[in-house]
């Protein structure tokens, strides 16, 4: 224990003395852990992390490569394969450990199990349990001897996965929970596995995490450090934040190193652990690392060939922004012009009163110029189906209030709407009560609202009219929202008017070609709401 305490303090003093830089000299016997997080299908970095792995192996035999989740979704390339292309590339590189991000669950549990079973890496996830058997779905930890060090790896993902993706896969036909992410016992769970790997001989413990450090989320990586003891390092994902090295004090006031690479392979993380247990981390910008593995590039090129031959379906003089970009982080706190275009496409093509998408469902921007189906897949990679449901004005008002509850902070639930407009008062504190059981995943508390002056476009009268709380309106959206309890619990139990098998990308293609005749008009240069 005395040696462990000295090693932990060595982390702290190394951080003070050396800032963010890792030691240039990597000695034979050092352990190197390369890591990425929130790649989201941006494949460009894989050839470079493969080359970096080979470079590190020339200096020390103890090199591990880990992924911190959200690798299987986000670009047309990986989404069309339901994540399998990402797994194939990581297998080619030889990843050692992966934890699962919330977006690995996007394609359902059957496809997730297929990805995991085909992966040569060890999948670690300590907080996903099948309540019918009371067993972990995936292994929680691994212990590995690397030179003089015995390293314990523990995997964890954000509990908001249950409500941020497709909540219906976690409940039975009666609405009872059949899986849990242990939202209310995260810290106790992590502590139990720290104790387990320590008892198995681990003298260095790494949490491979997809928790994030965003304070909007209750269970963060920083709070996990503060509520536990015995961790050395958290390598973190989910929030898309760039954290070269941050020191947080644990429950015993010992320093723990936290690091995250950002997103989209902006950086490759490198953790170096000396035989005495001292460690440091740095981020290597992918754009500045000069080497690539040719065999990995060749594999990726085979995946990309078919996409390069997809035909043009429309042209735009304007960039269509799916989100605001701030320091390479999604910043979804407003309506965007791509949000306007897509929600209007849903409303127009279905003849609904309102078109409604969530900001997090738009995963990329479309640059000015030619638009092919490849660009549509990049922006709408989930393969969601088109649905129309009927709701009262009161339900719609509540869903709007929930959608703007954390603005101006980033929020995947921020509404992108057509046929609907409203005023937003950011000075009002949102009053949202979160629930994980029953039919509603959230409800609105009593008190003032942020949303006011809500108006709906009347097709009959050709004018804006006040939202009638007792009247019913048709809402065109995706099955993720209207059928699968995604984002807005209050929009999951409406009367279904249309549930066909058309995909969102098919609807968008039809709108661009049939309604807009292949030309994005000037009216979409800026958002309409």
Look at residue 216 in the predicted model and tell me its pLDDT. 66
Among 334, 312, 316, 311, which residue's Cα sits nearest to residue 324? 334
pTM of the model: 0.73
Say if residues 335 and 464 touch (Cβ distance below 8 Å). Answer: no
Say if residues 98 and 119 touch (Cβ distance below 8 Å). Answer: yes
More confident residue, 309 or 45: 45
Look at residue 3 in the predicted model and tell me its pLDDT. 41
Q: What is the largest CA-CA distance in the chain?
A: 78
- Give me the residue label for tokens 């970096």: 52
Whether 402 shows a pLDDT value over 60: the answer reads yes
Q: How far is CA 407 from the centre of its chain?
A: 18
Among 97, 92, 91, which residue's Cα sits nearest to residue 64? 97
Whether 20 shows a pLDDT value over 80: the answer reads no
Spell out the domains of the chain, with CATH numbers in brackets: 2-21+33-303 (3.60.21.10), 310-524 (3.90.780.10)
Mean pLDDT along residues 381-394: 91
Look at residue 412 in the predicted model and tell me its pLDDT. 86
Q: How confident is residue 501, by pLDDT bands cut at 50, 70 and 90?
A: low
Whether 367 shows a pLDDT value over 80: the answer reads yes
Say if residues 152 and 202 touch (Cβ distance below 8 Å). Answer: yes
In angstroms, the CA 146 to CA 16 distance is 27
Query: pLDDT of 83-104, one tens digit each?
Result: 999 999 999 999 999 999 998 9
Q: How confident is residue 171, by pLDDT bands cut at 50, 70 and 90?
A: confident
In angstroms, the CA 330 to CA 356 distance is 19
Look at residue 325 in the predicted model and tell me its pLDDT. 57
Query: pLDDT of 271-291, one tens digit each?
Result: 999 999 999 999 999 999 999
Q: Where are the beta strands (DSSP E) in 86-140?
A: 97-98, 122-123, 129-130, 135-136
In angstroms, the CA 83 to CA 89 distance is 10
| Range with lowest mean pLDDT among 1-10, 304-313, 502-511 | 1-10
Contacts of 302 (CB under 8 A, 6+ apart): none
In angstroms, the CA 493 to CA 346 distance is 19
Among 459, 468, 473, 458, which residue's Cα sits nearest to residue 388? 473
Q: How confident is residue 327, by pLDDT bands cut at 50, 70 and 90?
A: very low
In angstroms, the CA 143 to CA 141 distance is 7
In angstroms, the CA 25 to CA 523 distance is 57
Whether 407 shows a pLDDT value over 80: the answer reads yes
The three-state secondary structure class of 107 is coil
CA torsion angle 6 10 11 16 (round to 10):
140
Contacts of 305 (CB under 8 A, 6+ apart): none
């Amino acid at each position: 224990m005395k040696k462990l305490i000295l090693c932990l303090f060595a982390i702290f003093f190394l951080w003070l003395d050396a800032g963010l830089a890792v030691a240039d000299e990597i000695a034979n016997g050092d352990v190197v852990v390369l890591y990425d997080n929130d790649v989201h299908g941006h494949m460009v970095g894989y050839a470079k992390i493969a080359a970096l792995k080979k470079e590190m192996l020339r200096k020390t035999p103890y090199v591990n490569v880990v992924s911190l989740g959200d690798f299987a979704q986000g670009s047309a390339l990986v989404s069309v394969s339901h994540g399998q292309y990402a797994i194939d590339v990581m297998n080619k590189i030889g990843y050692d450990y992966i934890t699962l991000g919330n977006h690995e669950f996007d394609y359902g549990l059957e496809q997730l199990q297929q990805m995991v079973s085909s992966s040569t890496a060890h999948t670690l996830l300590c907080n996903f349990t099948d309540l019918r058997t009371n067993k972990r779905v995936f292994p929680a930890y691994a212990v590995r001897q690397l030179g003089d060090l015995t390293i314990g790896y523990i995997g964890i993902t954000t509990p908001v996965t249950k409500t941020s993706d497709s909540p219906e896969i976690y409940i039975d036909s009666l609405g009872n929970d059949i899986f849990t992410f242990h939202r209310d016992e995260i810290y106790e769970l992590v502590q139990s596995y720290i104790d387990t790997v320590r008892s198995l001989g681990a003298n260095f413990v790494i949490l491979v995490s997809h928790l994030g450090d965003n304070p909007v989320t209750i269970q963060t990586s920083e709070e996990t450090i503060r509520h536990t003891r015995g961790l050395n390092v958290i390598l973190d994902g989910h929030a898309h934040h760039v954290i070269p090295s941050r020191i947080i004090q644990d429950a015993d006031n010992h320093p723990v190193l936290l690091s995250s690479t950002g997103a989209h392979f902006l950086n490759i993380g490198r953790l170096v652990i000396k035989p005495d247990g001292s460690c440091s981390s740095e981020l290597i910008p992918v754009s500045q690392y000069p080497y690539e593995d040719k065999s990995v590039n060749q594999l990726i090129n085979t995946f990309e060939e078919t996409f390069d031959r997809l035909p043009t379906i429309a042209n735009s003089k304007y960039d269509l922004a799916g989100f605001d970009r701030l320091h390479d982080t999604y910043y979804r706190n407003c309506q965007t012009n791509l949000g306007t275009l897509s929600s209007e496409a849903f409303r127009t093509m279905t003849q609904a009163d309102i078109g409604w998408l969530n900001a997090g469902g738009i995963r990329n921007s479309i640059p000015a110029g030619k638009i092919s189906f490849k660009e549509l897949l990049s922006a709408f990679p989930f393969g969601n189906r088109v649905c129309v449901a009927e709701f009262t004005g009161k339900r719609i008002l509540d869903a709007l209030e929930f959608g703007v509850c954390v603005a101006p902070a980033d929020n995947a639930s921020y509404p992108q709407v057509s046929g609907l407009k409203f005023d937003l008062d950011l000075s009002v504190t949102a009053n949202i009560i979160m629930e994980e059981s029953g039919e509603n995943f959230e409800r609105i508390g009593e008190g003032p609202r942020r949303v006011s002056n809500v108006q709906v476009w009347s097709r009959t009268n050709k004018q804006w009219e006040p939202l009638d709380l007792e009247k019913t309106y048709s809402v065109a959206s995706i099955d993720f929202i209207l059928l699968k309890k995604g984002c807005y619990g209050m929009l999951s139990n409406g009367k279904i008017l249309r549930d066909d098998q058309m995909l969102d990308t098919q609807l968008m293609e039809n709108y661009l070609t049939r309604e807009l005749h292949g030309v994005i008009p000037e009216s979409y240069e800026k958002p309409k709401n």
